[in-house]
């Protein structure tokens, strides 16, 4: 089994080294991640239900695709990789950067670059990563975030609240 090697950053998102995924999470180190919201022509957002085998936030609803930025990767390259790995969406796709959030307890100390991807093609969810996936209207997600926030990964609630609060979706 290959060890995922992540970029460790300081409180200003400047790289300071690399560490294994396990060490990053065990020691609470700042690191980088991407979240991508896939939106169709009907303005619906695709959300994934994380696999029950995930070690972090299993069986919680989350962004369309997300993941760590690995050593040697840019945020954008990680986003393209995650779209392919998790949803079978192959480049070329147009990614629109929406917002970048600082590392915090709510984001698992991840600096999170959030992208939007418009897509009406097929989606093929990776069953090792995703239990289920569905299209939702932004209004449905708003209601769930207000009334059932515990069904989401904590970082998704932070991301969604920031996007909606800033009129970005």
Structural domain includes residue 14: no
Total domains in the fold of the chain: 1
Range(s) of the domain holding residue 67: 31-165
* pLDDT for residue 2: 53
Structural domain includes residue 9: no
Q: How far apart are CA 112 and CA 44, in angstroms?
A: 22
The tokens 């093609």 sit on which residue? 121
Angle at 41 between CA 59 and CA 38, to 5 degrees: 35
Structural domain includes residue 26: no
Per-residue pLDDT of the chain (169 residues; tens, 9 = 90+): 357 899 999 999 999 999 999 999 999 999 999 999 999 999 999 999 999 998 889 999 999 999 999 989 999 999 999 999 999 999 788 999 999 999 999 899 999 999 999 999 999 999 999 999 999 999 999 999 999 989 999 999 999 999 999 999 8
The residue count for the chain: 169
Structural domain includes residue 2: no
Find the radius of gyration of the CA atoms of the chain.
Answer: 15
Structural domain includes residue 16: no
Structural domain includes residue 15: no
Comparing C-alpha atoms, which of 162, 26, 161 is closest to residue 99?
162
Structural domain includes residue 37: yes
Structural domain includes residue 3: no
Q: What is the largest CA-CA distance in the chain?
A: 42
Give the domain CATH number at 73. Answer: 3.90.79.10
Strand pairing of 110-118 and 31-39?
Answer: parallel
């Amino acid at each position: 089994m290959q060890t995922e090697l992540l970029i460790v950053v300081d409180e200003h998102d400047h790289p300071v080294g690399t560490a294994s995924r396990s060490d990053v999470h065990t020691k609470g180190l700042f690191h980088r991640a991407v979240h991508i919201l896939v939106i169709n022509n009907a303005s619906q957002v695709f959300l994934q239900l994380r696999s029950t085998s995930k070690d972090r936030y299993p069986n919680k609803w989350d962004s369309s695709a997300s993941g760590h930025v690995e050593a040697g990767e840019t945020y954008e390259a990680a986003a393209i990789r995650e779209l392919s790995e998790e949803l079978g969406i192959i480049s070329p796709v147009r990614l629109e950067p929406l917002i970048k959030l600082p590392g915090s307890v709510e984001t698992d100390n991840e600096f999170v670059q959030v992208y939007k991807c418009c897509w009406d093609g097929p989606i093929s969810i990776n069953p090792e990563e995703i239990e289920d996936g569905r299209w939702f209207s932004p209004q449905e997600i708003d209601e769930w975030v207000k009334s059932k926030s515990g069904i989401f990964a904590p970082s998704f609630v932070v991301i969604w609240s920031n996007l909606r609060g800033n009129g970005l979706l």
